[in-house]
Structure 1
Amino acid sequence: MRANFKMQRLFIDAPLAPGAAIEAGSDHFNYLINVLRMQEGGEVLVFNGRDGEWTARLVQPSRKKLILDVVSQTRPQDPLPDLHYLFAPLKVGRLDYIVQKAVEMGAGLLQPVMTQHVQGKITSLERLQANVVEAAEQCGVLAVPEVAAPVKLKDLLERWPADRRILFCDESDAGSNPLPILQGIHERKLALLIGPEGGFSEEERHLLRSLSFVTAIPLGPRILRADTAAVAALAVVQATIGDWSASPG
């Protein structure tokens, strides 16, 4: 079922059910009352990543208190997408961008990976998770992905489950068309690995290509920035072997 983009959507970290009365936190109070100028009796859509999406009516028992009165469910809960997004952190700003785009493009887990040439760093998982929530609110997403703690590439690969294939975007690949490679992949459990702005080191590239659960793919004839490569790779994977290619239910 498609999201209703005519109504404001809010992520609420509380159980949602008919008749639930949830006091709005200061951020939601300020946004709804002072920024949007909503009045008592107005309605918003709320979700928590567990209980689906619900209509909630605004009740303001006092000038400084706002209650979200949960009325009825508008959409049942979606499962988390099963595509894992592995990425080398970029500098602030562009890092926020790739996190938001990964959510929009159907990633179910976001895993920062520290590589030899990484230029950015993760200073706050809370900030990245807030970006995830914001993207989910804006794009009608119900299943909210988790941002995992950063891990070194070598450590990640040493404990990687062999039943989940990693699609490794290799900027040095001699080919330019990823479609024939992707069409030959039959596993449904997938992860997409995007390197840093400076690319993977030769040591990292050799390690990745030596593993049976890793498949290298090119991303076309052009040199792409890491944030552009992330969106391009997610799009081609989803369109070829991901949830965009699934038959309508």
Structure 2
Amino acid sequence: MLPSMGEARYRKRMNRSDPRLYVPASETAFVEGQTIPLPSGQAHYLGNVMRQGVGSAVRVFNERDGEWAAEIASLKKDKGSVLLHRCERTPAPTDGVELLFAPLKRDATELVIRMGTELGVTRFRPVVTERTNTHRLNLERLSLIATEAAEQCERLDIPEILPPESLRVVLAGWPDDRPLFAALERRPGEDAGVQAAALLIGPEGGFSEAEVELLRRHAAVHALSLGPLVLRAETAVCAGLSRLAARAEDAARG
């Protein structure tokens, strides 16, 4: 039984265009009839950007509690709360891979985070290569972009974004039994039967010859061909993730 409006009326008001908000898991699990506070900034977004008010239908979610139908219980300036009605989707892990990529210029890096989130990346690991153009990342902003992308694409979790590390350091600690597919230009792909745990995309200008040799010698690394054309790094991310997803689907079908 819904505490503030009839079930039929509430269901009529709920639709897929209702605002969808990520509310991080707290010490208390979501339960029907519970009122939970909104994170800082969400109240402003609902009231001033989405033009919503008390009683408006929303959806809230996180990786532990799943996705819940709710309504705005209070909304004032930068504070607000929502009343939980029912669980619409139970928690489920995202079926994706870890993405290792050389940081790019700001707009390109943000595009990589957005597209990667929509394509199911479970973790972003920026790696600094010999030809990396930038070494500074605003991790807080990138996390916000990943959150917004998750809200839009209807996934339940937010991918982790790690601080940048040297490619050589990452490879030195990479397990031999965790397949890492590297997009290497003009090199044939290998091992069609191996399922990738992670994807590596290099910088504009590609990997240096020393880095290519380092990758070729690592037991976990497999070459992934993205075709005969040379792609921009952000395009290669999209193409590589799509290619690995298609491989996984083919393997699942047998």
Aligned twin of 2:108: 94
Which letter maps to 1:22?
I
Aligned twin of 2:70: 56
How far residue 211 of structure 1 moved from its aligned partner, in angstroms, is 1.4
Distance 2:212 2:198 in 1: 16
Q: 1:214 aligned to 218, 221, 239, which one?
A: 221
What is the TM-score when the length of structure 2 is the normalising length?
A: 0.86
How far residue 221 of structure 1 moved from its aligned partner, in angstroms, is 1.2
Distance 2:160 2:174 in 1: 18
Q: 1:246 aligned to 240, 245, 252, which one?
A: 252
Q: State the Cα RMSD in Å.
A: 2.0
Aligned twin of 2:18: 7
How far residue 120 of structure 1 moved from its aligned partner, in angstroms, is 2.4
Distance 1:198 1:212 in 2: 25
Whether the aligned pair in 2 keeps the contact of 1:238 and 1:245 (CA below 8 Å) is: no
Whether the aligned pair in 2 keeps the contact of 1:82 and 1:107 (CA below 8 Å) is: yes
Distance 2:75 2:20 in 1: 22
- Where 1:238 maps in the other structure, the secondary structure is helix
Which letter maps to 1:37?
R
Which letter maps to 1:28?
Q
What percent of counterpart residues are identical?
37
Q: 1:185 aligned to 181, 190, 193, which one?
A: 193
Aligned residues: 236
How far residue 56 of structure 1 moved from its aligned partner, in angstroms, is 1.4
Distance 2:223 2:207 in 1: 12
Distance 2:251 2:111 in 1: 25
How far residue 62 of structure 1 moved from its aligned partner, in angstroms, is 6.2
How far residue 65 of structure 1 moved from its aligned partner, in angstroms, is 4.7
- Where 2:222 maps in the other structure, the secondary structure is strand
Whether the aligned pair in 2 keeps the contact of 1:89 and 1:114 (CA below 8 Å) is: yes
Q: 1:141 aligned to 151, 155, 159, which one?
A: 155
Whether the aligned pair in 2 keeps the contact of 1:168 and 1:217 (CA below 8 Å) is: yes
How far residue 103 of structure 1 moved from its aligned partner, in angstroms, is 1.0
Distance 1:25 1:154 in 2: 38
When structure 1 is superposed on structure 2, of 189-198 and 121-130 the one drifting more is: 121-130
Aligned twin of 1:155: 169
Whether the aligned pair in 2 keeps the contact of 1:5 and 1:140 (CA below 8 Å) is: no
Aligned twin of 1:126: 140
Which letter maps to 2:131?
H
How far residue 64 of structure 1 moved from its aligned partner, in angstroms, is 6.9
Whether the aligned pair in 2 keeps the contact of 1:163 and 1:189 (CA below 8 Å) is: no
Distance 2:64 2:251 in 1: 25
Deviations 1:74-132 (A, max 9, x none): 10111143511110010001100001111111111111111000012333211111111
Q: Which has the higher contact order (CA 8 A, sep 6+)?
A: 1
User: Residues 234, 124 of structure 1: CA spacing in aligned structure 2 closer, same or farther, 3 A cutoff?
Assistant: same
Distance 1:233 1:65 in 2: 41
How far residue 63 of structure 1 moved from its aligned partner, in angstroms, is 7.2
Runs (4+) of structure 1 moved beyond 4 Å? 61-65
User: Residues 65, 234 of structure 1: CA spacing in aligned structure 2 closer, same or farther, 3 A cutoff?
Assistant: closer
Whether the aligned pair in 1 keeps the contact of 2:42 and 2:78 (CA below 8 Å) is: no
How far residue 23 of structure 1 moved from its aligned partner, in angstroms, is 2.2
User: Which runs of no fewer than 5 residues in structure 2 stay unpaired?
Assistant: 1-14
When structure 1 is superposed on structure 2, of 116-125 and 101-110 the one drifting more is: 116-125
Distance 1:27 1:70 in 2: 19
